[in-house]
């Protein structure tokens, strides 16, 4: 079982701010996912990482396999970015373990 920890648990930012959400895990993985969950909505996969860095629009995700750590960055944050961001690790057995999520609120 992989212990996945996220920080911070809650985050409030002003529109335009740069945001970082951190994720650490306890055992080796085959991939790490960053997921987005809007209130009342389903969960959407933003990134899947096994090494390095990925960028999609204003979102950037990085992973350091040696340190067992990943970060999700949002540049020029916008109120529509308000959601819960969840880090999830996947092992070679195709099992996923989830963090408790970071609730982000971006204020106009």
Partner 1 sequence: EAGVAQSPRYKIIEKRQSVAFWCNPISGHATLYWYQQILGQGPKLLIQFQNNGVVDDSQLPKDRFSAERLKGVDSTLKIQPAKLEDSAVYLCASSSPWQAGNTIYFGEGSWLTVV
Contact positions vs partner 1 (CB under 8 A)? 4, 31, 33, 35, 41-45, 48, 86, 88, 90, 93-101
Give the Cβ contact number of residue 72 at 10 Å: 25
Helix (H, G, I), strand (E, B) or coil at 58: coil
Return the number of the residue (35 or 72) whose C-beta is nearest partner 1.
35
Q: How is residue 105 written in tokens?
A: 């609120």
Q: Minimal distance in Å, beta carbon 82 to partner 1?
A: 16
Return the number of the residue (16 or 28) whose C-beta is nearest partner 1.
28
Return the number of the residue (19 or 23) whose C-beta is nearest partner 1.
23
Alpha-carbon distance values, 78 to 17, 20, 39 (Å) = 8, 14, 16
């Amino acid at each position: 079982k992989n212990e996945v920890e996220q920080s911070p648990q809650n985050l409030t930012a002003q529109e335009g701010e740069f945001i970082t959400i951190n994720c650490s895990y306890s055992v080796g993985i085959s991939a790490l996912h960053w997921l987005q969950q809007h209130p009342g909505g389903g969960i959407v996969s933003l990134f899947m990482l096994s090494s390095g860095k990925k960028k999609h629009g204003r979102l950037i995700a990085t992973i350091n396999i040696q340190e067992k750590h990943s970060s999700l960055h949002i540049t020029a944050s916008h109120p529509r970015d308000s959601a819960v961001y969840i880090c999830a690790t996947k092992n070679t057995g195709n099992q996923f373990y989830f963090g408790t999520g970071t609730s982000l609120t971006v204020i106009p």
